[in-house]
Amino acid sequence: MKKELRQLYFIGVFIVIGCILGCFFAINESNQLQDPEFLALLHSKNMTVSEPMGITKGVILCGWLFSGIATGIIFYKAIAKRWFTSMAPKILLAIITFPFFAFVGAIGVIPFVVYKAIRICKIKLQN
């Protein structure tokens, strides 16, 4: 149970960091889109001006992305612990496959957290 709680705390910390960065990102984006110099720069390069993302959407998306990174790290640790013995192949594989594990983690973060929470509840009920 200690391992599951540690993993949930790890994901929770990454969610909080992602939400804070998402809030800063959304505020910065809305400030840039109100700046006439920035809009003139976009028009001079023949670039379109998109709609601002909004604070809520920015917080949710960045929180989800960062929690996916944490879940991907957990997935990688579980796979690397079983398959490799020396440290060099683990580090090389981590560098090469980081985008893949971050993507898989972003997709699997919600089912992973639900599974771990159910497992913790079952263990607590048995004790």
> Would you say the C-alpha torsion 94, 96, 98, 101 has a positive or negative sign?
negative
Per-residue model confidence as pLDDT tens for the chain (127 residues): 688 889 889 999 999 999 999 999 999 988 888 888 988 888 898 888 888 888 899 899 999 989 989 998 888 888 877 776 677 777 777 788 888 888 888 888 888 888 888 888 888 888 7
Q: What is the pLDDT of residue 85?
A: 67
Q: What is the pLDDT of residue 95?
A: 82
Global pTM reads: 0.76
> Would you say the C-alpha torsion 20, 99, 107, 3 has a positive or negative sign?
negative
Cβ contacts of 102 within 8 Å, gap of 6 or more: 65, 68, 69, 72
Distance CA(126)–CA(59), nearest Å, equals 37
Q: Are 89 and 51 in contact (CB under 8 A)?
A: no
Q: What is the pLDDT of residue 22?
A: 93
Planar angle of CA 7, 13, 17, nearest 5 degrees? 145
